[in-house]
Chain A
Protein backbone atom coordinates (compact mmCIF):
# COMPACT_ATOMS: atom_id res chain seq x y z
CA UNK A 1 0.00 0.00 0.00
CA UNK A 2 1.11 3.51 -0.86
CA UNK A 3 0.02 6.22 1.59
CA UNK A 4 0.55 9.93 1.05
CA UNK A 5 -0.07 12.90 3.33
CA UNK A 6 1.19 16.22 2.06
CA UNK A 7 0.77 19.77 3.16
CA UNK A 8 2.14 22.69 1.16
CA UNK A 9 0.76 25.90 -0.34
CA UNK A 10 -0.48 24.07 -3.45
CA UNK A 11 -1.48 20.69 -2.05
CA UNK A 12 -3.35 19.69 1.09
CA UNK A 13 -3.93 15.95 1.10
CA UNK A 14 -4.34 13.75 4.17
CA UNK A 15 -3.93 9.97 4.15
CA UNK A 16 -4.42 9.23 0.49
CA UNK A 17 -4.17 5.44 0.53
CA UNK A 18 -3.67 3.51 -2.68
CA UNK A 19 -3.92 -0.25 -2.97
CA UNK A 20 -4.82 -0.99 -6.56
CA UNK A 21 -4.92 1.53 -9.38
CA UNK A 22 -6.18 5.00 -8.52
CA UNK A 23 -6.82 7.67 -11.12
CA UNK A 24 -6.03 11.10 -9.75
CA UNK A 25 -8.13 13.46 -11.80
CA UNK A 26 -8.62 17.18 -11.81
CA UNK A 27 -8.27 20.25 -14.00
CA UNK A 28 -4.83 21.65 -14.74
CA UNK A 29 -3.39 23.53 -11.79
CA UNK A 30 -5.25 21.40 -9.25
CA UNK A 31 -1.99 19.95 -7.92
CA UNK A 32 -2.10 16.44 -9.41
CA UNK A 33 1.43 16.46 -10.79
CA UNK A 34 2.80 18.14 -7.67
CA UNK A 35 1.31 15.40 -5.48
CA UNK A 36 2.80 12.72 -7.74
CA UNK A 37 6.22 14.39 -7.63
CA UNK A 38 6.03 14.56 -3.86
CA UNK A 39 5.40 10.82 -3.71
CA UNK A 40 8.44 10.18 -5.94
CA UNK A 41 10.74 12.53 -4.05
CA UNK A 42 11.03 15.00 -6.95
CA UNK A 43 9.27 17.65 -4.88
CA UNK A 44 9.01 18.11 -1.15
CA UNK A 45 5.92 19.17 0.82
CA UNK A 46 6.37 21.51 3.76
CA UNK A 47 4.94 18.81 5.99
CA UNK A 48 4.07 15.29 4.97
CA UNK A 49 4.50 11.58 5.10
CA UNK A 50 4.90 9.02 2.33
CA UNK A 51 5.02 5.31 3.06
CA UNK A 52 5.07 2.36 0.70
CA UNK A 53 4.86 -1.24 1.88
CA UNK A 54 6.81 -1.22 5.09
CA UNK A 55 9.14 1.59 4.03
CA UNK A 56 8.92 5.23 5.03
CA UNK A 57 10.06 7.42 2.15
CA UNK A 58 9.20 10.75 3.69
CA UNK A 59 8.38 11.86 7.19
CA UNK A 60 9.08 15.53 7.73
CA UNK A 61 8.41 15.19 11.47
CA UNK A 62 11.08 12.52 11.89
CA UNK A 63 13.41 14.17 9.37
CA UNK A 64 13.21 11.30 6.88
CA UNK A 65 13.45 12.24 3.20
CA UNK A 66 14.70 9.46 0.93
CA UNK A 67 16.10 10.72 -2.41
CA UNK A 68 14.21 9.65 -5.57
CA UNK A 69 16.75 6.91 -6.38
CA UNK A 70 15.94 5.16 -3.09
CA UNK A 71 12.16 5.26 -3.38
CA UNK A 72 11.65 2.51 -5.95
CA UNK A 73 8.91 4.46 -7.71
CA UNK A 74 8.32 3.70 -11.37
CA UNK A 75 7.57 7.15 -12.77
CA UNK A 76 6.18 7.78 -16.25
CA UNK A 77 6.60 11.43 -17.20
CA UNK A 78 4.08 13.40 -19.20
CA UNK A 79 6.51 13.91 -22.11
CA UNK A 80 7.86 10.38 -21.41
CA UNK A 81 11.41 11.73 -20.84
CA UNK A 82 13.10 9.01 -22.88
CA UNK A 83 16.88 9.40 -23.07
CA UNK A 84 17.55 10.68 -26.61
CA UNK A 85 21.08 9.24 -26.72
CA UNK A 86 19.88 5.68 -26.14
CA UNK A 87 17.76 3.31 -28.23
CA UNK A 88 14.36 2.13 -26.98
CA UNK A 89 16.07 -1.00 -25.67
CA UNK A 90 18.89 1.09 -24.17
CA UNK A 91 16.32 3.14 -22.24
CA UNK A 92 14.69 0.05 -20.76
CA UNK A 93 18.08 -1.61 -20.10
CA UNK A 94 19.09 1.52 -18.15
CA UNK A 95 16.11 0.90 -15.85
CA UNK A 96 16.89 -2.83 -15.73
CA UNK A 97 20.48 -2.13 -14.63
CA UNK A 98 21.92 -3.61 -17.80
CA UNK A 99 19.76 -6.74 -17.69
CA UNK A 100 19.30 -7.25 -21.44
CA UNK A 101 16.86 -10.18 -21.35
CA UNK A 102 14.61 -8.49 -18.81
CA UNK A 103 14.59 -5.30 -20.90
CA UNK A 104 13.71 -7.16 -24.09
CA UNK A 105 11.02 -9.13 -22.26
CA UNK A 106 9.35 -5.90 -21.15
CA UNK A 107 9.45 -4.42 -24.65
CA UNK A 108 7.85 -7.63 -25.89
CA UNK A 109 5.17 -7.53 -23.21
CA UNK A 110 4.28 -4.00 -24.28
CA UNK A 111 4.30 -4.89 -27.96
CA UNK A 112 7.23 -2.70 -29.00
CA UNK A 113 10.04 -5.27 -29.24
CA UNK A 114 10.26 -4.63 -32.99
CA UNK A 115 11.24 -1.01 -32.20
CA UNK A 116 14.05 -1.98 -29.80
CA UNK A 117 16.80 -0.47 -31.98
CA UNK A 118 14.96 2.80 -32.69
CA UNK A 119 15.90 6.11 -31.09
CA UNK A 120 13.13 7.92 -29.17
CA UNK A 121 12.79 10.58 -31.90
CA UNK A 122 11.98 7.85 -34.41
CA UNK A 123 9.13 6.44 -32.29
CA UNK A 124 5.46 7.40 -32.50
CA UNK A 125 3.72 8.88 -29.47
CA UNK A 126 2.14 5.55 -28.59
CA UNK A 127 5.43 3.68 -28.91
CA UNK A 128 7.18 6.24 -26.71
CA UNK A 129 4.53 5.82 -24.03
CA UNK A 130 5.03 2.04 -24.07
CA UNK A 131 8.80 2.30 -23.91
CA UNK A 132 8.51 4.76 -21.02
CA UNK A 133 6.23 2.35 -19.16
CA UNK A 134 8.58 -0.56 -19.90
CA UNK A 135 11.48 1.48 -18.53
CA UNK A 136 9.54 2.34 -15.36
CA UNK A 137 8.65 -1.34 -14.87
CA UNK A 138 12.24 -2.44 -15.48
CA UNK A 139 13.37 -1.41 -12.00
CA UNK A 140 10.81 -3.70 -10.38
CA UNK A 141 9.12 -0.74 -8.68
CA UNK A 142 7.27 -0.80 -5.37
CA UNK A 143 4.79 1.77 -6.71
CA UNK A 144 3.89 3.15 -10.13
CA UNK A 145 3.28 6.85 -10.73
CA UNK A 146 2.06 7.90 -14.16
CA UNK A 147 1.72 11.57 -15.05
CA UNK A 148 -0.78 12.06 -17.89
CA UNK A 149 0.61 9.04 -19.74
CA UNK A 150 -1.83 9.43 -22.62
CA UNK A 151 -1.62 13.21 -23.02
CA UNK A 152 0.99 13.11 -25.79
CA UNK A 153 -1.06 10.62 -27.80
CA UNK A 154 -3.25 11.06 -30.83
CA UNK A 155 -6.91 11.34 -29.69
CA UNK A 156 -7.87 8.45 -31.97
CA UNK A 157 -5.41 6.00 -30.39
CA UNK A 158 -5.91 7.24 -26.83
CA UNK A 159 -8.77 4.95 -25.83
CA UNK A 160 -7.05 1.78 -27.05
CA UNK A 161 -3.74 2.76 -25.49
CA UNK A 162 -5.52 3.59 -22.24
CA UNK A 163 -7.12 0.14 -21.96
CA UNK A 164 -3.79 -1.57 -22.64
CA UNK A 165 -2.03 0.67 -20.13
CA UNK A 166 -4.67 -0.11 -17.50
CA UNK A 167 -4.22 -3.85 -18.07
CA UNK A 168 -0.43 -3.73 -17.81
CA UNK A 169 -0.48 -1.53 -14.71
CA UNK A 170 -3.11 -3.67 -12.99
CA UNK A 171 -1.13 -6.84 -13.82
CA UNK A 172 1.93 -5.59 -11.92
CA UNK A 173 -0.03 -5.75 -8.67
CA UNK A 174 1.78 -2.74 -7.18
CA UNK A 175 -0.11 0.34 -6.02
CA UNK A 176 -0.38 2.82 -8.87
CA UNK A 177 -1.54 6.41 -9.32
CA UNK A 178 -2.45 7.62 -12.80
CA UNK A 179 -2.84 11.37 -13.18
CA UNK A 180 -5.26 12.70 -15.77
CA UNK A 181 -7.21 15.90 -16.39
CA UNK A 182 -10.00 14.04 -18.13
CA UNK A 183 -12.75 12.17 -16.30
CA UNK A 184 -13.49 9.81 -19.19
CA UNK A 185 -9.81 8.89 -19.34
CA UNK A 186 -9.78 8.41 -15.57
CA UNK A 187 -12.67 5.95 -15.73
CA UNK A 188 -10.86 4.12 -18.52
CA UNK A 189 -7.62 3.80 -16.57
CA UNK A 190 -8.77 2.89 -13.09
CA UNK A 191 -11.59 1.36 -11.08
CA UNK A 192 -11.30 4.14 -8.58
CA UNK A 193 -11.04 7.87 -9.16
CA UNK A 194 -10.05 10.65 -6.77
CA UNK A 195 -10.99 14.13 -7.96
CA UNK A 196 -8.56 16.85 -6.94
CA UNK A 197 -9.81 20.42 -6.64
CA UNK A 198 -7.37 23.19 -5.73
CA UNK A 199 -4.97 20.75 -4.06
CA UNK A 200 -7.62 18.89 -2.05
CA UNK A 201 -9.37 15.59 -2.69
CA UNK A 202 -12.95 16.66 -3.49
CA UNK A 203 -14.29 13.12 -3.77
CA UNK A 204 -13.11 9.57 -4.19
CA UNK A 205 -15.06 6.64 -5.54
CA UNK A 206 -15.79 4.50 -8.56
CA UNK A 207 -16.34 6.44 -11.80
CA UNK A 208 -20.06 5.65 -11.75
CA UNK A 209 -20.38 6.74 -8.12
CA UNK A 210 -18.78 10.07 -8.96
CA UNK A 211 -20.92 10.57 -12.04
CA UNK A 212 -24.22 9.51 -10.43
CA UNK A 213 -23.80 11.11 -7.02
CA UNK A 214 -21.17 13.82 -7.15
CA UNK A 215 -20.35 15.32 -3.78
CA UNK A 216 -20.11 18.85 -5.11
CA UNK A 217 -20.91 20.99 -8.10
CA UNK A 218 -17.23 20.89 -8.96
CA UNK A 219 -17.19 17.10 -9.19
CA UNK A 220 -20.43 17.09 -11.17
CA UNK A 221 -19.00 19.64 -13.58
CA UNK A 222 -15.77 17.66 -13.84
CA UNK A 223 -17.54 14.37 -14.62
CA UNK A 224 -19.13 16.05 -17.63
CA UNK A 225 -22.65 16.59 -16.27
CA UNK A 226 -24.57 19.74 -17.05
CA UNK A 227 -24.60 22.04 -14.06
CA UNK A 228 -27.21 24.75 -13.53
CA UNK A 229 -27.52 26.93 -10.45
CA UNK A 230 -30.60 27.99 -8.57
CA UNK A 231 -32.45 28.12 -5.28
CA UNK A 232 -34.25 25.03 -3.95
CA UNK A 233 -37.37 24.72 -1.78
CA UNK A 234 -39.91 21.99 -1.05
CA UNK A 235 -42.33 21.54 -3.92
CA UNK A 236 -45.47 19.59 -4.70
CA UNK A 237 -45.81 15.78 -4.23
CA UNK A 238 -42.57 15.36 -2.26
CA UNK A 239 -40.35 16.78 -4.99
CA UNK A 240 -37.93 19.67 -4.63
CA UNK A 241 -38.52 22.71 -6.79
CA UNK A 242 -35.56 24.80 -7.95
CA UNK A 243 -35.97 28.33 -9.26
CA UNK A 244 -33.09 28.63 -11.73
CA UNK A 245 -30.89 31.71 -11.87
CA UNK A 246 -31.89 33.68 -14.96
CA UNK A 247 -35.36 32.19 -15.18
CA UNK A 248 -37.20 28.89 -15.38
CA UNK A 249 -37.69 26.18 -12.80
CA UNK A 250 -37.07 22.45 -12.53
CA UNK A 251 -38.00 19.66 -10.11
CA UNK A 252 -35.90 16.95 -8.57
CA UNK A 253 -36.38 13.84 -6.47
CA UNK A 254 -33.39 14.91 -4.33
CA UNK A 255 -34.08 16.84 -1.14
CA UNK A 256 -32.37 20.22 -0.80
CA UNK A 257 -32.92 23.68 0.54
CA UNK A 258 -31.27 26.97 -0.43
CA UNK A 259 -28.57 27.54 -3.03
CA UNK A 260 -27.95 24.42 -5.14
CA UNK A 261 -26.18 23.15 -8.22
CA UNK A 262 -28.51 21.14 -10.45
CA UNK A 263 -26.70 18.37 -12.29
CA UNK A 264 -28.04 16.42 -15.25
CA UNK A 265 -26.27 14.10 -17.67
CA UNK A 266 -26.46 15.38 -21.25
CA UNK A 267 -27.78 12.01 -22.45
CA UNK A 268 -30.76 12.25 -20.04
CA UNK A 269 -32.02 15.36 -21.83
CA UNK A 270 -34.45 14.94 -24.71
CA UNK A 271 -35.19 17.67 -27.24
CA UNK A 272 -38.17 18.59 -29.36
CA UNK A 273 -41.68 19.82 -29.33
CA UNK A 274 -42.51 16.85 -27.10
CA UNK A 275 -45.83 15.92 -25.63
CA UNK A 276 -45.94 14.21 -22.26
CA UNK A 277 -45.68 15.00 -18.61
CA UNK A 278 -41.96 14.90 -17.80
CA UNK A 279 -41.45 17.19 -14.83
CA UNK A 280 -38.70 19.30 -16.29
CA UNK A 281 -39.14 21.32 -19.43
CA UNK A 282 -37.13 24.39 -20.36
CA UNK A 283 -37.65 26.43 -23.47
CA UNK A 284 -34.18 27.00 -24.99
CA UNK A 285 -32.39 28.52 -27.92
CA UNK A 286 -29.96 26.31 -29.84
CA UNK A 287 -26.39 27.71 -29.75
CA UNK A 288 -24.28 24.90 -31.23
CA UNK A 289 -24.85 21.58 -32.99
CA UNK A 290 -21.87 19.19 -32.99
CA UNK A 291 -22.12 15.83 -34.69
CA UNK A 292 -20.07 13.00 -33.08
CA UNK A 293 -20.84 10.06 -35.36
CA UNK A 294 -24.23 8.65 -34.42
CA UNK A 295 -24.54 11.09 -31.49
CA UNK A 296 -25.04 14.83 -31.69
CA UNK A 297 -24.18 17.31 -28.94
CA UNK A 298 -26.50 20.28 -28.81
CA UNK A 299 -25.51 23.43 -26.95
CA UNK A 300 -28.49 25.33 -25.55
CA UNK A 301 -29.20 28.60 -23.78
CA UNK A 302 -32.10 28.13 -21.37
CA UNK A 303 -30.96 30.90 -20.57
CA UNK A 304 -28.26 29.10 -18.49
CA UNK A 305 -25.99 27.02 -20.73
CA UNK A 306 -27.14 23.44 -21.11
CA UNK A 307 -25.83 20.56 -23.20
CA UNK A 308 -27.97 17.74 -24.54
CA UNK A 309 -26.71 14.64 -26.28
CA UNK A 310 -29.20 13.00 -28.63
CA UNK A 311 -29.02 10.59 -31.54
CA UNK A 312 -27.97 12.13 -34.82
CA UNK A 313 -31.14 10.67 -36.29
CA UNK A 314 -33.39 12.73 -34.01
CA UNK A 315 -31.19 15.79 -34.44
CA UNK A 316 -31.77 15.54 -38.18
CA UNK A 317 -35.49 14.93 -37.75
CA UNK A 318 -35.71 18.09 -35.60
CA UNK A 319 -33.64 20.03 -38.16
CA UNK A 320 -31.69 21.66 -35.33
CA UNK A 321 -29.58 24.66 -36.21
CA UNK A 322 -28.06 27.48 -34.17
CA UNK A 323 -30.62 30.16 -33.47
CA UNK A 324 -33.55 27.74 -33.57
CA UNK A 325 -35.85 27.16 -30.59
CA UNK A 326 -36.53 23.87 -28.88
CA UNK A 327 -37.80 22.35 -25.64
CA UNK A 328 -35.31 20.54 -23.38
CA UNK A 329 -37.08 17.84 -21.39
CA UNK A 330 -35.87 15.45 -18.68
CA UNK A 331 -37.11 13.52 -15.67
CA UNK A 332 -37.10 14.80 -12.11
CA UNK A 333 -35.46 11.50 -11.13
CA UNK A 334 -32.47 12.25 -13.40
CA UNK A 335 -31.91 15.59 -11.69
CA UNK A 336 -29.25 15.68 -8.95
CA UNK A 337 -29.17 18.54 -6.46
CA UNK A 338 -25.93 19.50 -4.75
CA UNK A 339 -25.76 22.10 -2.03
CA UNK A 340 -23.44 24.88 -3.14
CA UNK A 341 -20.54 25.49 -0.81
CA UNK A 342 -19.62 29.04 -0.04
CA UNK A 343 -16.29 28.49 -1.83
CA UNK A 344 -17.92 27.81 -5.19
CA UNK A 345 -20.90 30.13 -5.62
Chain B
Protein backbone atom coordinates (compact mmCIF):
# COMPACT_ATOMS: atom_id res chain seq x y z
CA UNK B 1 0.00 0.00 0.00
CA UNK B 2 2.87 2.31 0.83
CA UNK B 3 4.41 1.58 -2.56
CA UNK B 4 1.14 2.34 -4.33
CA UNK B 5 0.76 5.58 -2.36
CA UNK B 6 4.36 6.46 -3.27
CA UNK B 7 3.44 6.26 -6.97
CA UNK B 8 0.00 7.81 -6.62
CA UNK B 9 1.16 11.19 -5.39
CA UNK B 10 3.51 12.02 -8.28
CA UNK B 11 0.72 10.97 -10.65
CA UNK B 12 -1.75 13.26 -8.85
CA UNK B 13 0.75 16.13 -9.16
CA UNK B 14 1.09 15.50 -12.90
CA UNK B 15 -2.68 15.39 -13.35
CA UNK B 16 -3.11 18.67 -11.48
CA UNK B 17 -0.54 20.41 -13.66
CA UNK B 18 -2.11 18.99 -16.84
CA UNK B 19 -5.56 20.19 -15.71
CA UNK B 20 -4.29 23.73 -15.01
CA UNK B 21 -2.43 23.91 -18.30
CA UNK B 22 -5.39 22.63 -20.33
CA UNK B 23 -7.87 24.94 -18.62
CA UNK B 24 -5.69 28.02 -19.12
CA UNK B 25 -4.56 27.39 -22.69
CA UNK B 26 -7.70 25.87 -24.22
CA UNK B 27 -9.54 29.20 -24.72
CA UNK B 28 -6.41 30.77 -26.22
CA UNK B 29 -5.89 27.85 -28.58
CA UNK B 30 -9.59 27.88 -29.51
CA UNK B 31 -9.36 31.50 -30.69
CA UNK B 32 -6.97 30.37 -33.41
CA UNK B 33 -8.73 27.09 -34.34
CA UNK B 34 -12.37 28.19 -34.30
CA UNK B 35 -12.09 29.97 -37.67
CA UNK B 36 -9.63 29.38 -40.52
CA UNK B 37 -6.60 31.70 -40.67
CA UNK B 38 -7.93 33.04 -43.99
CA UNK B 39 -11.27 34.01 -42.45
CA UNK B 40 -9.50 35.65 -39.51
CA UNK B 41 -7.28 37.74 -41.80
CA UNK B 42 -10.08 38.82 -44.14
CA UNK B 43 -12.43 39.80 -41.30
CA UNK B 44 -9.74 42.09 -39.89
CA UNK B 45 -10.08 44.10 -43.09
CA UNK B 46 -13.69 45.23 -42.79
CA UNK B 47 -16.04 46.81 -40.32
CA UNK B 48 -13.42 49.11 -38.77
CA UNK B 49 -11.61 46.29 -36.95
CA UNK B 50 -8.23 47.73 -37.84
CA UNK B 51 -9.39 51.20 -36.69
CA UNK B 52 -10.20 49.75 -33.28
CA UNK B 53 -6.79 48.06 -33.12
CA UNK B 54 -4.98 51.21 -34.15
CA UNK B 55 -6.91 53.24 -31.59
CA UNK B 56 -6.05 50.70 -28.90
CA UNK B 57 -2.35 50.81 -29.71
CA UNK B 58 -2.26 54.61 -29.97
CA UNK B 59 -4.19 55.37 -26.78
CA UNK B 60 -2.26 52.70 -24.84
CA UNK B 61 1.07 54.07 -26.04
CA UNK B 62 0.13 57.66 -25.12
CA UNK B 63 -1.33 56.64 -21.74
CA UNK B 64 1.67 54.49 -20.79
CA UNK B 65 4.04 57.18 -22.12
CA UNK B 66 2.46 59.67 -19.72
CA UNK B 67 2.54 57.13 -16.90
CA UNK B 68 6.27 56.51 -17.44
CA UNK B 69 7.12 60.21 -17.75
CA UNK B 70 5.37 61.18 -14.52
CA UNK B 71 5.44 57.84 -12.70
CA UNK B 72 9.23 57.36 -12.90
CA UNK B 73 10.20 60.37 -10.74
CA UNK B 74 7.22 59.65 -8.45
CA UNK B 75 8.38 56.05 -7.95
CA UNK B 76 11.92 57.33 -7.33
CA UNK B 77 10.66 59.54 -4.52
CA UNK B 78 8.78 56.62 -2.95
CA UNK B 79 11.86 54.39 -3.23
CA UNK B 80 14.53 56.77 -1.94
CA UNK B 81 12.81 59.01 0.61
CA UNK B 82 11.29 58.32 3.97
CA UNK B 83 8.48 60.60 5.04
CA UNK B 84 5.49 60.48 7.31
CA UNK B 85 2.53 58.78 5.67
CA UNK B 86 4.67 57.03 3.05
CA UNK B 87 2.87 53.72 3.64
CA UNK B 88 -0.46 55.47 3.12
CA UNK B 89 0.74 57.11 -0.11
CA UNK B 90 1.99 53.75 -1.40
CA UNK B 91 -1.34 52.13 -0.58
CA UNK B 92 -3.30 54.89 -2.32
CA UNK B 93 -1.12 54.51 -5.42
CA UNK B 94 -1.86 50.78 -5.45
CA UNK B 95 -5.60 51.17 -4.87
CA UNK B 96 -6.62 51.15 -8.59
CA UNK B 97 -5.03 47.68 -8.83
CA UNK B 98 -7.84 46.16 -6.77
CA UNK B 99 -10.59 48.55 -7.84
CA UNK B 100 -13.26 46.91 -10.06
CA UNK B 101 -13.00 48.56 -13.53
CA UNK B 102 -16.68 49.60 -13.36
CA UNK B 103 -15.92 51.45 -10.11
CA UNK B 104 -12.93 53.10 -11.78
CA UNK B 105 -15.21 54.25 -14.62
CA UNK B 106 -17.78 55.70 -12.22
CA UNK B 107 -14.99 57.36 -10.23
CA UNK B 108 -13.54 58.97 -13.34
CA UNK B 109 -17.01 60.23 -14.35
CA UNK B 110 -17.57 61.64 -10.87
CA UNK B 111 -14.19 63.38 -10.94
CA UNK B 112 -13.70 64.47 -14.55
CA UNK B 113 -17.16 64.07 -16.12
CA UNK B 114 -19.18 67.11 -17.30
CA UNK B 115 -20.80 67.44 -13.86
CA UNK B 116 -17.84 66.01 -11.97
CA UNK B 117 -15.55 67.39 -9.28
CA UNK B 118 -13.22 68.97 -11.85
CA UNK B 119 -15.83 68.96 -14.64
CA UNK B 120 -15.54 72.70 -15.16
CA UNK B 121 -11.79 73.20 -15.69
CA UNK B 122 -11.16 69.77 -17.30
CA UNK B 123 -11.35 69.60 -21.10
CA UNK B 124 -14.24 67.49 -22.43
CA UNK B 125 -13.20 63.86 -22.01
CA UNK B 126 -16.39 61.83 -22.10
CA UNK B 127 -16.97 60.28 -25.55
CA UNK B 128 -13.56 61.68 -26.61
CA UNK B 129 -10.34 59.84 -27.46
CA UNK B 130 -8.64 61.85 -24.69
CA UNK B 131 -11.06 60.20 -22.26
CA UNK B 132 -9.80 56.78 -23.34
CA UNK B 133 -6.23 57.89 -22.59
CA UNK B 134 -7.30 59.09 -19.12
CA UNK B 135 -9.06 55.79 -18.35
CA UNK B 136 -6.10 53.72 -19.57
CA UNK B 137 -3.62 55.84 -17.61
CA UNK B 138 -5.72 55.47 -14.47
CA UNK B 139 -5.83 51.68 -14.56
CA UNK B 140 -2.29 51.08 -15.81
CA UNK B 141 -0.33 53.63 -13.71
CA UNK B 142 -0.24 51.53 -10.50
CA UNK B 143 1.26 48.59 -12.40
CA UNK B 144 4.14 50.75 -13.56
CA UNK B 145 4.67 52.83 -10.42
CA UNK B 146 4.65 49.82 -8.11
CA UNK B 147 7.15 47.93 -10.24
CA UNK B 148 9.34 51.03 -10.73
CA UNK B 149 9.38 51.68 -6.98
CA UNK B 150 10.57 48.11 -6.34
CA UNK B 151 13.18 48.48 -9.09
CA UNK B 152 14.56 51.71 -7.60
CA UNK B 153 14.51 50.23 -4.09
CA UNK B 154 16.79 47.44 -5.26
CA UNK B 155 19.42 49.90 -6.56
CA UNK B 156 22.36 49.94 -4.12
CA UNK B 157 22.15 53.37 -2.40
CA UNK B 158 25.93 53.69 -2.48
CA UNK B 159 25.75 53.89 -6.30
CA UNK B 160 23.57 56.98 -6.01
CA UNK B 161 25.85 58.42 -3.32
CA UNK B 162 28.90 57.72 -5.47
CA UNK B 163 27.33 59.67 -8.32
CA UNK B 164 26.67 62.61 -5.99
CA UNK B 165 30.25 62.69 -4.70
CA UNK B 166 31.41 62.65 -8.33
CA UNK B 167 29.73 66.01 -8.82
CA UNK B 168 26.34 65.03 -10.22
CA UNK B 169 23.16 66.49 -8.74
CA UNK B 170 20.11 64.44 -7.93
CA UNK B 171 18.41 64.85 -11.32
CA UNK B 172 21.54 63.81 -13.23
CA UNK B 173 22.03 60.89 -10.83
CA UNK B 174 18.47 59.71 -11.46
CA UNK B 175 18.90 59.90 -15.23
CA UNK B 176 22.43 58.52 -15.51
CA UNK B 177 22.66 55.98 -12.70
CA UNK B 178 19.31 55.08 -11.10
CA UNK B 179 17.31 54.62 -14.33
CA UNK B 180 19.96 52.62 -16.22
CA UNK B 181 20.62 50.35 -13.21
CA UNK B 182 16.88 49.84 -12.58
CA UNK B 183 16.16 49.44 -16.29
CA UNK B 184 15.15 45.74 -16.30
CA UNK B 185 12.58 46.38 -13.55
CA UNK B 186 11.34 49.53 -15.24
CA UNK B 187 10.93 47.65 -18.55
CA UNK B 188 8.94 44.93 -16.80
CA UNK B 189 6.68 47.57 -15.25
CA UNK B 190 6.21 49.22 -18.61
CA UNK B 191 5.23 45.92 -20.23
CA UNK B 192 2.75 45.16 -17.44
CA UNK B 193 1.19 48.63 -17.72
CA UNK B 194 0.97 48.32 -21.49
CA UNK B 195 -0.69 44.90 -21.19
CA UNK B 196 -3.20 46.25 -18.70
CA UNK B 197 -3.94 49.29 -20.93
CA UNK B 198 -4.43 47.16 -24.05
CA UNK B 199 -6.87 44.87 -22.24
CA UNK B 200 -8.79 47.69 -20.52
CA UNK B 201 -12.56 47.40 -20.97
CA UNK B 202 -14.82 48.44 -18.09
CA UNK B 203 -13.45 51.86 -17.14
CA UNK B 204 -13.13 52.92 -20.78
CA UNK B 205 -16.68 51.81 -21.62
CA UNK B 206 -18.17 53.70 -18.68
CA UNK B 207 -16.05 56.85 -18.90
CA UNK B 208 -15.33 57.32 -22.61
CA UNK B 209 -18.06 55.17 -24.15
CA UNK B 210 -17.79 52.98 -27.24
CA UNK B 211 -17.92 55.29 -30.25
CA UNK B 212 -16.47 53.67 -33.39
CA UNK B 213 -13.25 55.35 -34.52
CA UNK B 214 -13.24 57.70 -31.50
CA UNK B 215 -13.33 55.71 -28.28
CA UNK B 216 -13.91 52.13 -29.39
CA UNK B 217 -10.72 50.26 -28.52
CA UNK B 218 -10.10 46.64 -29.54
CA UNK B 219 -11.66 45.05 -26.41
CA UNK B 220 -14.77 47.24 -26.86
CA UNK B 221 -14.94 46.29 -30.56
CA UNK B 222 -14.71 42.60 -29.64
CA UNK B 223 -17.62 43.03 -27.23
CA UNK B 224 -19.73 44.86 -29.83
CA UNK B 225 -19.07 42.29 -32.58
CA UNK B 226 -19.35 38.98 -30.77
CA UNK B 227 -23.15 38.89 -31.06
CA UNK B 228 -23.24 39.74 -34.77
CA UNK B 229 -19.91 38.72 -36.30
CA UNK B 230 -18.19 36.09 -34.19
CA UNK B 231 -15.35 35.64 -36.71
CA UNK B 232 -14.50 39.35 -36.56
CA UNK B 233 -14.44 39.14 -32.75
CA UNK B 234 -12.14 36.10 -33.01
CA UNK B 235 -9.81 37.91 -35.42
CA UNK B 236 -9.38 40.90 -33.09
CA UNK B 237 -8.92 38.54 -30.14
CA UNK B 238 -6.20 36.67 -31.99
CA UNK B 239 -4.29 39.90 -32.56
CA UNK B 240 -4.59 40.85 -28.88
CA UNK B 241 -3.35 37.39 -27.83
CA UNK B 242 -0.27 37.86 -30.01
CA UNK B 243 0.42 41.33 -28.58
CA UNK B 244 -0.11 40.12 -25.00
CA UNK B 245 2.19 37.15 -25.53
CA UNK B 246 4.88 39.47 -26.87
CA UNK B 247 4.52 41.67 -23.77
CA UNK B 248 4.71 38.68 -21.43
CA UNK B 249 7.89 37.52 -23.14
CA UNK B 250 9.32 41.03 -22.71
CA UNK B 251 8.65 40.85 -18.96
CA UNK B 252 10.29 37.42 -18.73
CA UNK B 253 13.34 38.57 -20.66
CA UNK B 254 13.61 41.72 -18.53
CA UNK B 255 13.49 39.52 -15.43
CA UNK B 256 16.24 37.33 -16.80
CA UNK B 257 18.24 40.48 -17.46
CA UNK B 258 17.77 41.38 -13.81
CA UNK B 259 19.79 38.33 -12.78
CA UNK B 260 22.95 39.60 -14.43
Contact = CB atoms under 8 A, between A and B. Distances in A.
A77 B164 contact: no
Contacts of B177: 83
Interface residues of B, number: 18
A85 B179 CA distance: 10
B165 A69 contact: yes
A145 to B, nearest CB: 8
B87 interface: no
Given A77-B158, A79-B158, A83-B159, A69 B168 contact: yes
Interface residues of A, number: 25
Contacts of A20: none
Given A77-B161, A94-B176, A85 B167 contact: no
B38 interface: no
Contacts of B260: 84, 121
B6 interface: no
B180 interface: yes
Contacts of B156: 79, 81
Given A81-B159, A85-B181, A121-B260, A42 B165 contact: yes
A136 B180 CA distance: 21
A139 B164 CA distance: 12
Contact of A71 (B159, B165, B176): B165
B181 A139 contact: no
**Which of A69, A84, A138, A139 has the largest count of B CB atoms less than 10 A from its CB?**
A69
A42 B166 contact: no
A86 B176 CA distance: 10
Given A83-B177, A84-B181, A94-B176, A69 B162 contact: no
B180 A85 contact: yes
8 contacts: A41-B164, A67-B164, A75-B165, A79-B158, A81-B158, A81-B159, A83-B181, A85-B183
Given A69-B164, A75-B161, A94-B163, 12 more contacts: A42-B161, A69-B167, A77-B158, A81-B156, A81-B161, A81-B162, A83-B180, A84-B159, A84-B181, A85-B181, A94-B176, A95-B166
